[in-house]
Amino acid sequence: MSAVSVKRSTLIGFLGPSIFALLAIGIVPLLYAVWTSLHYFNLTKLKNVEFIGIENYATVLTDSVFWQAMGRTFTLLGIALPIQIALGLGIALLLHQPGLSFLKTLTRLSLVLPMATTYAVVGLLGQVMFNIKYGVINQLLGFVGIEPVNWIGDPTNAFALIIFWDIWQWTPFVALVLLAGLTTVPAEIEEAAKLETKRWYTVLRYVQLPFLIPGLTAVLILRTADTLKLFDMVFTLTRGGPGASTELISLMIQRVGFRAFDQGLASAQAIILLIITIILSQLYIRLLYKEVG
């Protein structure tokens, strides 16, 4: 079968706008960030802009504060993501059971709510709900005789709090993606498997899981990228504190770039973060798709 020839003007007409948009909002700013990262570029000292090669990168890579922030970000990812997947899978499996269709529809709708809530609003809600003195959470704990907990002012509790909010907001997303994956399992295969074994785990492992892998890969890539650039919720909830206990990498980049105005250093941090994100995404795709094969 011969390929249909398409006129060049048609190709440009269809692809041009999206290529232009990608260039304007993606590639050009990225190239500018690379250029900035190779310069001493402080917004309040623009008279002193100079090319400094990889000095900003060397500063970032040898800065313990940067790696501590990176460590906190990956700790958040390492704790929140498995919990989101476990809970999301559980919810998806429950919703995949036959019967109670009205309740399931209602549940599916309510699952959208946390995702639809703006990140910054989640942080502000947290400030109010987890306030040590006036927060509703401590009030509820008080009803069962538990002393008020210092949620936001204690470093460990504050970190636990951002993990909690991240799980609250994004478990429904994982659940809905996995539920979509479960609906792609052919009904006859699933029924046959259930006749063969009563163990739900066996059905999950050998029948349903292969169909969940594409969704799971998407979840891993999206949630990893989202967590690495998580900013709004933490900024409005703790602003990275107390101390540096909730200063994730994105907050650190914002602090360096927009509060200390060192755009060169902040750009170098952002480029390194981008490289790490790309490497992780590639790893997910290679490892998981290999398993499917």
151 closest CA partner among 26, 237, 92:
237
Buried b (16+ CB within 10 A) or exposed e, 243-253: ebbbbbbbbbb
Q: Residue 166, interface with another protein (CB under 8 A)?
A: no
Question: Looking up tokens 């602003």, which residue turns up?
Answer: 239
Measure CA 242 to chain center.
22
CB atoms within 10 A of CB 101: 8
In terms of CB distance, is 154 or 232 closer to another protein? 154
Rg of the chain taking only CA atoms, in angstroms: 24
**Cis preceding linkage at 242, omega within 30:** yes
In terms of CB distance, is 38 or 256 closer to another protein? 256
CB of residue 237 to another protein, shortest distance in Å: 10
- The answer to whether residues 234 and 251 touch, using CB atoms and an 8 Å cutoff, is yes
**Which CA distances in Å does 42 have to 30, 58, 260?**
18, 17, 8
Q: Which residues inside 121-140 make contact with another protein, applying CB under 8 A?
A: 132-133
In terms of CB distance, is 256 or 272 closer to another protein? 256
Whole-angstrom distance, CA of residue 240 vs CA of residue 232: 11
CB of residue 114 to another protein, shortest distance in Å: 24
CB of residue 118 to another protein, shortest distance in Å: 17
Q: What track of x and - describes contact with another protein for positions 50 through 89 (by CB under 8 A)?
A: ---------------x------------------------
In terms of CB distance, is 113 or 136 closer to another protein? 136
Question: Looking up tokens 């009563």, which residue turns up?
Answer: 198
Q: Which residues inside 204-263 make contact with another protein, applying CB under 8 A?
A: 238-244, 255-256, 258-262
- Options 44-52, 174-182, 208-216, 219-227: segment touching another protein (CB under 8 A): 44-52
Interface pick for another protein out of 17, 29, 71, 153 (rule CB under 8 A): 153
Q: Which residues inside 167-196 make contact with another protein, applying CB under 8 A?
A: none
In terms of CB distance, is 177 or 237 closer to another protein? 237
Q: Which residues pair with 42 in a beta bridge?
A: 262
Q: What are the two backbone dihedrals, phi and then psi, of residue 190, each rounded to the nearest 5 degrees?
A: -65, -45
- Options 40-48, 118-126, 166-174, 201-209: segment touching another protein (CB under 8 A): 40-48
Q: Which residues pair with 39 in a beta bridge?
A: 51
Number of residues that bind another protein (CB under 8 A): 27
CB atoms within 10 A of CB 265: 25
Note the residues at the interface with another protein (CB under 8 A).
43-46, 65, 132-133, 150, 152-155, 158, 238-244, 255-256, 258-262
